Chain A
Amino acid sequence: MLPVVVVHGGAGHIPKERSELSTSGVTSAVRAGYAVLRGGGSSMDAVVEAVTYLENNPAFNAGCGSVLNVKGDVEMDAFVMEGKTLGSGAVSAVRNIANPIQLARLVMDKTSHLCLTAEGAKQFARSMGVPEVPQESLITEYSRMRWRKNLAPDANPVECQMGKMGTVGAVAVDSQGNVACATSTGGILNKMEGRVGDTPCIGCGGYADNMVGAVSTTGHGEAIMKVVLAKHILYQMEQGQSVEAASDLGLACMKFRAAGLGGVITVDPQGHWAARFSSRQMAWAAAQKDTLHYGLYEGENFTQSIDVQH
């Protein structure tokens, strides 16, 4: 059953013309993560690799392709966690960085803190020699168009976003049985400057614990936070629920108590995994036993043999 890696490219209502982009994006990312695992790499290496792919892919709301805040700027959040020591790193509202997920990992590996925000995160990046990139390199025509559209006073950014682009993430278990998660996002369309969502909040945007499993979440950030969704799912698993049942219970709680829709990818240390969502669609892909699984619409689970590059 091991190793296994699962990725998501956001929960929402992905229009047909973008579904091809979403599906090919997540399948490429999961192949990259799986190659790391097959090469003996750790689950942390695998999830960071997969999410880096998605950040670099302009079709997703992370890194390049991030949604814009109300001022038209890019502010990004990212999170990593490993299940052996509960080590974690996060950045919130960081600007001008191509790969926030890698910066989050540096926070975990190189500081005694768990989260750095805004200017402080940028200063740290500089001190680590992480190159600063011009904001323009992160902005796509699509994200600019969506921003302009949502400046209209009667626009509904939450609903609009549930429509189009979402946070990205990955969970994995390596051959040693270590679990890890990673989540990255540009946040909510037209958010207030400095708005921090669920992604960099441990227990909300993700969580990893070798004793239970790992989760990465996507969807309406504020609702995810109110129910501490990743932790909620893992508590259910501690009580004996399967990865699917626990994920569905978490999403139901989020829907009924916080009126929000979203999606999750969940894995346990034995390699059982689930990709579940209460939104209309979620682009996801998983790789296990040299088999690629992927889907977009509810009920989909396509499989094919994975091409592993030796």
Chain B
Amino acid sequence: MAESSSPGMKREDPDRNSKMSAVVVVHGGAWAIPDQLAEASVDGVKAAACEGSSVLKRGGSALDAVEAAVRALEDNPAFNAGHGATLNADGEVELDAIIMDGRTLASGAVSSVKNIANPVSLARAVMEKTAHVMLTSRGANLFAESIGVVTVPPDTLLTEYEKKEWEKHKTYVTGVDEDFNTQWAHDTVGAVAVDRAGNVACATSTGGIRNKMVGRVGDSPVIGAGGYADNLSGAVSCTGHGESILKVTLARLILSHVERGKSVADSSQLSLQYMADRVRGAGGSIVVSPSGQWAATFTTDRMAWAAVDQDVLCSLPAPRGQWAIRRLLT
């Protein structure tokens, strides 16, 4: 049964709905976040949501807001994206990211890039500076060089924690299913936003699954799976068991329900339940609609998430079930 948080939909305030309110929602991964990481995870998503919110308050676009929020999460070693990303079978960091603009359906993605500190920004450059939607591997790195994006030494993105986890997992073969269902799997980060103009955007970034095969591409950079944004329905960013998210094209599935008139919360719950039933996969999603409705939903034990909606910071800190809502000091 999916757990959903969607205060935005419970309010029935016609005045509110007629104003274009800016909202940003972020997630830091859906998995059994252990207690010792919970505080860092919650602090991290709250800080990222505030980053995104500052952009929106300055009149920035939803696209700028999601990029800023995801960059903050990539820079934070507590999350499996950019700095702190999990290692592949060869002990290296390979990163995936996507960004999408709901206004034009423009999108940019990178898969399997190395030595880039902020893959979400590289994805944005693919969108804005090339005629393509997705670049992979060496080609993506060559593009980064051509536009002057700094290549960081491989060690910069490694953390002691991830190195230890990789060592631990090297000694036995873990299938992807098993790995995801242990409490040791880290996960993806993402953000969705709607700005004052009513434009929506999404962004997702990850190091992928621990000990993945070299060159494994998960859901994160795949349009319609790891994320999707369309001004006609909303923006979504997903996290969880990548192969399952891909099989049900989760982001696009959620919005197909929204298009048929369901609420963002119901759409998320139905879709995550379908993913559980059809392909036995668990995960989470954040969704925002062009009118400012939003939801954070997950079928894993925990998901680190935070939202800023009309100057109110909302988040669900681990352990599960406890709310924290506080008014932001402006």
For A86, the closest partner residue in chain B by CB is: B247
State whether the Cβ of A227 lies closer than 8 Å to any Cβ in chain B: yes
A118 and B106 form a contact (CB under 8 A) = no
State whether the Cβ of A258 lies closer than 8 Å to any Cβ in chain B: yes
State whether the Cβ of B306 lies closer than 8 Å to any Cβ in chain A: no
State whether the Cβ of A13 lies closer than 8 Å to any Cβ in chain B: no
Separation of A235 and B247 alpha carbons in the complex (Å)? 15
A86 with B224, Cβ < 8 A, contacts A112-B175, A226-B107 known: no
Q: Which of A86, A120, A196 contacts B216 (CB 8 A)?
A: A120
Separation of A222 and B127 alpha carbons in the complex (Å)? 11
For window 217-251 of chain A, which residues contact chain B by CB distance below 8 Å? 221-222, 225-228, 231, 235
Separation of A117 and B111 alpha carbons in the complex (Å)? 8
A193 and B138 form a contact (CB under 8 A) = yes
B176 and A116 form a contact (CB under 8 A) = no
Chain A nearest CB, measured from B252 CB (Å): 5
State whether the Cβ of A191 lies closer than 8 Å to any Cβ in chain B: yes
A residues in contact with B131, CB < 8 Å:
158, 222
Separation of A197 and B136 alpha carbons in the complex (Å)? 10
State whether the Cβ of B315 lies closer than 8 Å to any Cβ in chain A: no
For B242, the closest partner residue in chain A by CB is: A114
Q: Which of B107, B132, B217, B278 contacts A92 (CB 8 A)?
A: B217
A196 with B105, Cβ < 8 A, contacts A117-B215, A202-B225, A231-B252 known: no
Kindly supply a per-residue 1/0 record for chain A positions 7-19, scoring 1 wherever the CB is within 8 Å of any chain B CB and 0 otherwise: 0000000000000
Chain B nearest CB, measured from A44 CB (Å): 15
State whether the Cβ of A298 lies closer than 8 Å to any Cβ in chain B: no
Separation of A290 and B215 alpha carbons in the complex (Å)? 42
For window 140-164 of chain B, which residues contact chain A by CB distance below 8 Å? 140, 142-143
B residues in contact with A196, CB < 8 Å:
111, 132-136
Chain B nearest CB, measured from A162 CB (Å): 14
Chain A nearest CB, measured from B73 CB (Å): 23
Looking at chain B's contact residues, the main secondary structure is mixed
State whether the Cβ of B33 lies closer than 8 Å to any Cβ in chain A: no
B residues in contact with A48, CB < 8 Å:
none
State whether the Cβ of A309 lies closer than 8 Å to any Cβ in chain B: no
A195 and B105 form a contact (CB under 8 A) = no
B residues in contact with A195, CB < 8 Å:
132, 134-135, 139
State whether the Cβ of B248 lies closer than 8 Å to any Cβ in chain A: yes
> Range of interface residues on chain A?
35 or more
For window 168-195 of chain B, which residues contact chain A by CB distance below 8 Å? 175-177
Q: Which of A75, A111, A121, A226 contacts B106 (CB 8 A)?
A: A226
State whether the Cβ of A53 lies closer than 8 Å to any Cβ in chain B: no
Chain B nearest CB, measured from A132 CB (Å): 16
A118 and B215 form a contact (CB under 8 A) = yes
Kindly supply a per-residue 1/0 record for chain A positions 110-151, scoring 1 wherever the CB is within 8 Å of any chain B CB and 0 otherwise: 011111111111011000000000000000000000000000
A225 with B215, Cβ < 8 A, contacts A193-B142, A203-B225 known: no
A194 and B133 form a contact (CB under 8 A) = no
Separation of A201 and B106 alpha carbons in the complex (Å)? 16
Which of B138, B176, B242, B247 has the most A CB atoms < 10 Å from its CB?
B247
B246 and A88 form a contact (CB under 8 A) = yes
Q: Which of B134, B142, B177, B256 contacts A225 (CB 8 A)?
A: B134
B residues in contact with A85, CB < 8 Å:
279
B222 and A201 form a contact (CB under 8 A) = yes
State whether the Cβ of B5 lies closer than 8 Å to any Cβ in chain A: no
State whether the Cβ of A192 lies closer than 8 Å to any Cβ in chain B: yes
Separation of A192 and B130 alpha carbons in the complex (Å)? 9
Chain B nearest CB, measured from A278 CB (Å): 17
State whether the Cβ of B296 lies closer than 8 Å to any Cβ in chain A: no
State whether the Cβ of B112 lies closer than 8 Å to any Cβ in chain A: yes
Separation of A78 and B134 alpha carbons in the complex (Å)? 15
Q: List 20 A-B contacts (CB under 8 A).
A: A75-B139, A85-B279, A93-B137, A112-B243, A113-B217, A114-B246, A115-B216, A118-B215, A192-B132, A192-B135, A193-B142, A194-B135, A195-B135, A196-B134, A197-B133, A201-B222, A201-B223, A203-B222, A222-B132, A228-B224
Given contacts A120-B112, A201-B223, A222-B133, 16 further A-B contacts (CB under 8 A): A86-B279, A93-B139, A114-B247, A117-B136, A117-B217, A119-B137, A120-B213, A191-B132, A192-B135, A193-B138, A196-B132, A201-B134, A202-B224, A225-B107, A225-B133, A226-B107
